[in-house]
């Protein structure tokens, strides 16, 4: 099965991105043909610093590699290196209803967040995302919960295209993890962990051990003393228990039992230690990156040329079906 997913190189990738998306990719690449993209064209729809973009692209690639994505097995590449993404997005834009785009919650959130940066690219963002997925005729898209609506729109667009011009595209399904599809903010556990929030609210994959300890020890917890999982009554502790469980591959009940009669501080200290150890390869990879950016760029070029071979074949058919050639 062909699988596609991507992450915006906006800096500050956090454990939500890892647990919601990347962690699934590692398992999927063993038995599927995976295409993992660094979606720079999406990253420029919100305010950004042009001088930082290349650095963020390399850093996101370092995260993919540190997490265990194998470039021999999976295709890793930068979206803007394969021009067909932009071309297909334009074509699909001509069949995507405006009404569908106006319903997108990410557009509503982001336009509220960046009131003076509400551009047409932000509005048509989901069409480019549909193009990413459909260009590779992907059957499944492993993402966190917040991206489900966009994948649903990609299905709608695929269906419309197939009906109007002839069947080319599979209708892609979302793959979300059973646990961890929505990791919550450390400072406000009723909200999603997000890289555009205050850095105190998330653990970056490159955070230093000191920063990790500080953020976890000051994470919002709930009234009471018990370390028990209850999302409505104890959203803070429940979020930390989820993270603990995902990083240790232990069931939540087991962790609750271990910390029965212990304090929030004991539990948080243990979680901080687990995070520090778990994220050590990411910190190492970031340092290594400074000396290996030639290798990384070469790997991305190879990825782009593999991606291009698939993309060109799809585009040839799309152009024919649409009467453009």
Q: Catalogue the active-site residues.
A: 110, 192, 195
| Residue located via tokens 């290996």 | 292
Find all residues with CB under 8 Å of 101, minimum gap 6, and list them.
Answer: 107, 123, 124, 126, 127, 153
Q: Does 75 bind ligand TYM (CB under 6 A)?
A: no
- Considering only residues 12 through 41, tell me which ones interact with ligand TYM, judged by CB under 6 A: 16-17, 19-21, 39
Q: Does 143 bind ligand TYM (CB under 6 A)?
A: yes
Paired strand residues for 141: 174
Provide the minimum distance between the beta carbon of 261 and ligand TYM in the complex, in angstroms, as a whole number. Answer: 31
Residue 195: which of 14, 45, 8 has the closest Cα? 14
Provide the minimum distance between the beta carbon of 257 and ligand TYM in the complex, in angstroms, as a whole number. Answer: 26
Provide the minimum distance between the beta carbon of 60 and ligand TYM in the complex, in angstroms, as a whole number. Answer: 9
What is the Rg, in whole angstroms, of the alpha carbon atoms belonging to the chain?
21
Per-residue contact flags (x/-) with ligand TYM for residues 186 to 215, judged by CB under 6 A: ------xx----------------------
List 75, 76, 134, 183, residue binding ligand TYM (CB under 6 A):
183
List 35, 44, 58, 133, residue binding ligand TYM (CB under 6 A):
133
Which residue of this chain has its Cβ atom nearest to ligand TYM in the complex?
Answer: 20
Nearer to ligand TYM, 150 or 285 (CB): 150
List 52, 81, 109, 146, residue binding ligand TYM (CB under 6 A):
146
Q: Are 28 and 3 in contact (CB under 8 A)?
A: yes
Nearer to ligand TYM, 14 or 285 (CB): 14
Residue 4: which of 198, 187, 203, 151 has the closest Cα? 151
Provide the minimum distance between the beta carbon of 131 and ligand TYM in the complex, in angstroms, as a whole number. Answer: 9
Provide the minimum distance between the beta carbon of 260 and ligand TYM in the complex, in angstroms, as a whole number. Answer: 28
Residues at the interface with ligand TYM (CB under 6 A): 4-8, 16-17, 19-21, 39, 42, 129, 132-133, 141, 143-144, 146-147, 150, 181-183, 192-193
């Amino acid at each position: 099965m062909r699988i596609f997913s991507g992450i915006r190189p906006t800096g500050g990738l956090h454990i939500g991105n890892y647990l919601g998306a990347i962690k699934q990719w590692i398992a999927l690449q063993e038995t599927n043909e995976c295409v993992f993209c660094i979606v720079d064209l999406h990253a420029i729809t919100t305010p950004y610093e042009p001088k930082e973009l290349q650095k963020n692209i390399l850093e996101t690639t370092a995260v993919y590699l540190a997490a265990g994505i194998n470039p021999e097995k999976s295709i890793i590449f930068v979206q803007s290196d394969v021009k067909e993404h932009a071309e297909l997005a334009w074509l699909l834009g001509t069949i995507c209803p405006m009404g569908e785009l106006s319903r997108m919650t990410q557009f509503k959130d982001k336009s509220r967040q960046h009131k003076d940066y509400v551009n047409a690219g932000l509005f048509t963002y989901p069409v480019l995302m549909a193009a990413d997925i459909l260009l590779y005729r992907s059957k499944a898209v492993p993402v966190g919960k917040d991206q489900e609506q966009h994948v649903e729109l990609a299905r709608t667009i695929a269906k419309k295209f197939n009906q109007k011009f002839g069947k080319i595209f599979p209708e892609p399904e979302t793959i979300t993890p059973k646990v961890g599809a929505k990791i919550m903010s450390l400072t406000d556990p009723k909200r999603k962990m997000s890289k555009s929030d205050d850095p105190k609210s998330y653990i970056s994959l490159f955070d230093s051990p000191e920063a990790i300890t500080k953020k976890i020890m000051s994470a919002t917890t709930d009234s009471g003393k018990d370390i028990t999982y209850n999302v409505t009554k104890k959203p803070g502790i429940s979020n930390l228990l989820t993270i603990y469980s995902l990083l240790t591959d232990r069931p939540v009940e087991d962790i609750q039992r271990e910390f029965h009669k212990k304090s929030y501080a004991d539990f948080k200290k243990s979680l901080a230690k687990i995070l520090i150890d778990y994220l050590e390869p990411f910190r190492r990879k970031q340092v290594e990156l400074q000396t290996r950016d030639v290798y990384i760029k070469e790997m991305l070029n190879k990825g782009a040329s593999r991606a291009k071979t698939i993309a060109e074949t799809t585009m040839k058919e799309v152009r024919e079906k649409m009467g453009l050639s």
